[in-house]
Each structure stands twice: as C-alpha cells, then as structure tokens.
Structure 1
Amino acid sequence: MSDIKNYICDNEQRLDAFLTSKIGQTRSQVAMLVKNGAVFIEDKKVTRPGVKLKLDQQIRVEFPQAKETPALDIDFDVEILYEDEDVLVINKPSGLTVHPAPSVKEATLVDWLKHKGIRLSTISGEERHGIVHRLDKGTSGTMVVAKNNEAHEFLSSQLQDKSMGRYYLAVINPPLKDDFTTIEQNISRSSHNRLKMACAQGSKSKYAKTTFKVLSLSNDEKYQFIACKLFTGRTHQIRVHLESLNRHIIGDHIYALSPKIEKSERILLHAYMIYFYHPTSKEKVSFVAPLDDVMKTYIDKKFDMEQINEVMDTDNIISSFSANT
C-alpha cells in the first residue's frame, strides 16, 4: 500500500524544485520518484522531473513502500570502532564482500547491517543500508555507515567534495625508488581482462590520483611497507596505479605478476584511517582500524616491528602527506 500525499503549487517553478522543498529530499530522489511513475499533476502521470508547474496545480505523490529483502544468516562478526545515533564506523575484515550481487553466494556486510537493524529506505522505495563508500572484498579497514537518511546525504556529499578521506597501508614488492610517488593516470575497465581495471585514456576512462609514501623497508630489502593517499575513488585504484609502476601488493592474485612466489592468505591492503565531518556535530572526526592477525604476522616476519610501530603513528602519516601535497 502506497503512502499518498497531495500538494498544491503556490509558486510557478519546476516540479523537481517544488517537490524537493516540500518533501525535504534531493532532486535525484525526486527524479527517481518520477521515473518510477509515482508523481501525478492533475491526475496525469508525470514523465519529466523538470516540467514547469502552474499556479494552483494539484500534485499527487504516491510514495511506494520500501522493498525489503531478507538477510542471509551470518557466521561472522565485524569490529565496531565507533557508533552513535547517526553513524557506525567499522573495521571491515578481509574476505567480506560489501554488497550482495548475483555472483555473491555468501553473506555480505549488508546482511550483517540488516541483522543490526540498519535498514534505510529512500522516498522512491529503494532499500539501502547506509553504505556510503565501499572496499574491495580482500581489503580490510575503516568504513563509515550512515544510520539515517540525513546522515547518508551529509556523508555522501563529503565523498564528492573530498572532505572525507582515508589513508591506506600496504606491503609491496619490489620497493619504490622515491620516498614519495604521485600517480595521475586515468583508469578504465581493462580491455584484456574484465576482472581488472587499467590505466588508459579515452571517453570511458576516469581521472585518478594517488600518492604513495614509503614507511619502511623490509629486513632483506625486497619489500616495502607504504602508506597510500587517494585523491579520487576509482575501482582498484591503488592496485592499478602500483601496477603502472610494475609494483604489486603482496597477496594480490589479480594484479600480481607471480602470486605463487610470495604467498599470503589475503591481499595486504588495509584502510588504516578514515576522517570526515560528523553529520550532527559538524566537527571533523577520525578513526583508526588496527591491522588483523594475518597482516601483523606477515609484517612481523619481514620488518623491524619497532620501526613499524613508530611509522604507523597517524600524526606522522598525516603530516608527511600534508607536507608533500
């Protein structure tokens, strides 16, 4: 059963602008309502969100019910770094897929969120679960989840204006030559392998920029522990930009040249720290996700842990990037 609301035009303007002011949602959400056939002017279904309204015209909106899909059973837990009424900050484990898809048979982060009772719905009836940004299945680390629609809109806008960001940690080989390396190369789907992205030019490619900072060299000088700062958020961006330098993350079975040479249970890529402005307080906040046992054990075998603990200081990482960018 739909929730029906009626409005009367009190000012000649575009339909999407009018409904945005009445409903308190974004124009994109209003456009989705129109696309789904839920908006009527004088009982006639609207097909364009930009149609011009006349004074005293009657507008009817039939808000559809949210589409709810049942959650799969879960046999895992997720570390919560912070939680309040607006946001949930987690340390996503490696091996956990964020979104359900036809090819994904196991439970995902979305299923875990459903079990926690985090179910947001848009005004157009689409179910969403507060996912603002994502991490690849193998990548671990910080993610922020919105717990209401207002927080979701506020956090999503920060992704667009770059006031939200993350610093990543990775173990790579062979070592980078310079202390800092910045790559600005467009990225698109690989024409040779549909599982991969690649540096490429062309109409379908998207601008991408990454800076890498060397933190430590392994005891045998074959591997490096690095920090990565993303200025854009393209699929596989860190891995693709490293591949353009003939460098690869340990445990990466898609981009590594010879994954059998150096085995790891997981790709050693971790979203170490996230920062953003809180939806309610509007204050800048940041959170750090500790490394999991697999990544810690690998680093402990290859590197001087005393030095590693020193270079992992977040103030050190932030100030290093700030001084270089």
Structure 2
Amino acid sequence: MENIQHIIQENEKGNRLDLVISTLQEDWSRTQAQFLIKEGHVTVNGKTSKPNYKSAVGDEVLITIPDPEPLDVIAEEMDLDIYYEDEDVLVVNKPKGMVVHPAPGHLTGTLVNGLMAHCKDLSGINGVMRPGIVHRIDKDTSGLLMVAKNDRAHEKLVQQLVDKSVTRKYRAIVHGIIPHEYGTIDAPIGRDPKDRQKMTVVTKGKQAVTHFHVLDRFKEFSFVECELETGRTHQIRVHMKYIGFPLAGDPKYGPRKTMDLNGQALHAGVLGFVHPRTEEYMEFQAPLPAYFEELLIQLKNDR
C-alpha cells in the first residue's frame, strides 16, 4: 500500500478533485481517480470527499493506493495473430471459436489468457477478468479487436465507440437473396423477453444501426458487408434475422436448417480508429479465414 500527498496550488483552485488526482501520475485516468475517491482511498483535510469536490488552495489531499487486486486469470502462451502493437494499443485478429474474456466456469483458453502471457501492461478499467478489453466479438465470430494497454488509452478508445467514430466492417454470408444493393437497419436491440439468452429487436431496446452492402449473390445465399454504427450484443446477427436474412451457420438466430459451420459465418475484417496518443487515424484489414473462403468458392460453384 502506497500513500501520495498533495497540496492544492493556486492553478488548481476550483478544479474538481477527480481531475486534480488524475494529473498526479502520468498513467492515471479520470475513471481511476473517481474509483479511488468513491472507494474511500482519498481524503481532503483528513475527511473523505466526492469526485466533484471543488479544490481550494492549501487543501491537503492524501491518496492511499490499495494493493492491486490479485488476478485469478491464468496467463497462457498462445500464437496470437497480432496486427499492431505499441505502448498504448494492440490490434489482434481473433480466430473463430475463441472466447474473448474469461467467465466463471470458463477461465482458460480465452483471448485474455493469451494477452496476459503476451504483455503484462493491460488497462484495468473493465476489471480483473477483462483486462484491456475495449470491445468484444462473439466466440464464433473471427476478426479484429483493439486492446488497451493502459487506462488513458482505454478511455479514449471507448469514447470513440460512444462517438460512433470507430470503423468496424464485417463480412457475412446470409440466407436468402437480398434484392437491393445497400440498406440500413435502424432498430433498437434488447433482451428477448421470451429467452433471456437471446437479444432481439424490442421497442425499449438500445439504439442499434447497421449498414449493409451486398457483395455477391448465390443460389440461396448472399455475401454481404455490414458496417456497425453502434455496437450492441449480437447486433449483426439480430439485425439480419430481423429483416429476414439470418446468418448462415448461426445456431442461435439462424433457421433450424442451416450450414454446419460450428457457428455463424461472420468476420470482422476492417477496424479503424484514431490512435489514443498520436491522434492519427489507423485502419487494419484481416483477410477472410480459410473456411470462409472455401465456403464462398463452394457457393460460387453451385450457382
């Protein structure tokens, strides 16, 4: 356990307490400062305070940094497909069949297990079970993910998701022949009241917007590119089912008679964002996995 003392200076007068604390260490974020305050690890003139307390010149701030919470997730050496990495962010191409983060009863073999063996400096904002995870893709969806290596990077990447400025394009094979070239699905998504394990379009759900473009058509299927404006759970899978073109191979949202692909034919192929430190736009592309390419060849031959 470590203590940090700080006396409020003239240039900090009137500033919120959480803002002041976030500037005391280079790698501290506003979120981390708020956590310390709310958990009672910060006193002002000997008394606990609130994040929005307005600082006064001469205030004595004492921060007690708790020992880090032990992480029960096991680091596992994996052959990760890393597309980019620096001190702030990492971009990885997740294979089909891999879970992103551990959960009770499933603590090994996840992307997080591999990331922990690959690098020790991951953001802690999402807790000990999801270090560095800014967003996720489903177990049977392959493709690109951005991972934060510190809290400041995490906050800036999340803000881009909130601002809908992250580029996320997916390739998918869906049942049916979509008659038009382009479309936008703007339909709110929430828990299915009939099945809590599923998501569905519901009136009181969260706003969800998916843009799609037909790339090719086959005898009974269409090959599409979907671009996310929002990022709701199972969004593409739910939206394509909603308009009558469910994903091939999808055991949860697809038709009873679908392809045996061990999960939906969905690949997060393009990921673009503004780097949290350099503020330069970066974009990455991951090719379709082998099974997906082979499926496309098969569908073309059957046409």
TM-score above 0.5, yes or no: yes
Conservation of the 8 A alpha-carbon contact between 1:4 and 1:62: yes
Equivalent residue number for residue 140 of structure 1: 142
Deviation at 1:222, TM superposition (A): 0.4
Deviation at 1:269, TM superposition (A): 0.3
Paired residue type of 1:254: K
* C-alpha distance 55-239 of structure 1, shift in aligned 2 (>3 A): same
Q: Does 1:224 align with 2:227?
A: no
Equivalent residue number for residue 281 of structure 2: 284
User: Could you tell which deviates more after superposition, 22-31 or 142-151?
Assistant: 22-31
Equivalent residue number for residue 273 of structure 1: 270
1:1-325 equivalences under 5 Å are: 2-10=1-9, 11-23=13-25, 25-46=28-49, 48-72=50-74, 74=76, 76-120=78-122, 122=124, 129-202=131-204, 205-218=205-218, 221-258=219-256, 260-303=257-300
Q: 1:22, 1:135 → 2: CA distance? A: 35
Q: Secondary structure at the match of 2:227?
A: strand
Describe the superposition over 1:89-140 as per-residue Cα deviations: whole angstroms up to 9, x where unpaired. 2110011111111142442111101111233355999686322211111110
Describe the superposition over 1:2-25 as per-residue Cα deviations: whole angstroms up to 9, x where unpaired. 221111123244322332343454
Paired residue type of 2:112: V
Conservation of the 8 A alpha-carbon contact between 2:84 and 2:91: yes
Paired residue type of 2:289: D
Q: Secondary structure at the match of 1:255?
A: coil
RMSD: 2.5
Deviation at 1:261, TM superposition (A): 3.9
Describe the superposition over 1:151-174 as per-residue Cα deviations: whole angstroms up to 9, x where unpaired. 333322222222222110000001
Describe the superposition over 1:209-268 as per-residue Cα deviations: whole angstroms up to 9, x where unpaired. 1111100012xx20011000111111111111111112111111000121x442223310
Conservation of the 8 A alpha-carbon contact between 2:75 and 2:115: no
Conservation of the 8 A alpha-carbon contact between 1:265 and 1:294: no
Q: 1:141, 1:122 → 2: CA distance? A: 23
Q: 1:171, 1:263 → 2: CA distance? A: 13
* C-alpha distance 29-72 of structure 1, shift in aligned 2 (>3 A): closer
Percent sequence identity is 37
Gaps of 5+ in 2: none
The normalised TM-score by structure 1 is: 0.83
Q: 2:284, 2:195 → 1: CA distance? A: 36
* C-alpha distance 121-68 of structure 1, shift in aligned 2 (>3 A): farther
* C-alpha distance 18-124 of structure 1, shift in aligned 2 (>3 A): farther
* C-alpha distance 93-64 of structure 1, shift in aligned 2 (>3 A): same
* C-alpha distance 297-127 of structure 1, shift in aligned 2 (>3 A): closer
Q: 1:9, 1:199 → 2: CA distance? A: 51
Conservation of the 8 A alpha-carbon contact between 1:162 and 1:231: yes
* C-alpha distance 14-194 of structure 1, shift in aligned 2 (>3 A): same
Deviation at 1:287, TM superposition (A): 1.0
Q: Secondary structure at the match of 2:195?
A: coil
Gaps of 5+ in 1: 306-325
Q: Secondary structure at the match of 1:248?
A: coil
Conservation of the 8 A alpha-carbon contact between 1:78 and 1:93: no
Q: 1:82, 1:124 → 2: CA distance? A: 21
Deviation at 1:74, TM superposition (A): 4.0
Deviation at 1:288, TM superposition (A): 1.0
User: Could you tell which deviates more after superposition, 171-180 or 23-32?
Assistant: 23-32
Report the count of equivalent residues: 299
Conservation of the 8 A alpha-carbon contact between 1:66 and 1:127: no
Q: 1:156, 1:19 → 2: CA distance? A: 21
Paired residue type of 1:275: G
* C-alpha distance 200-121 of structure 1, shift in aligned 2 (>3 A): closer
Q: 1:123, 1:138 → 2: CA distance? A: 25
The normalised TM-score by structure 2 is: 0.89
Q: 2:223, 2:81 → 1: CA distance? A: 24
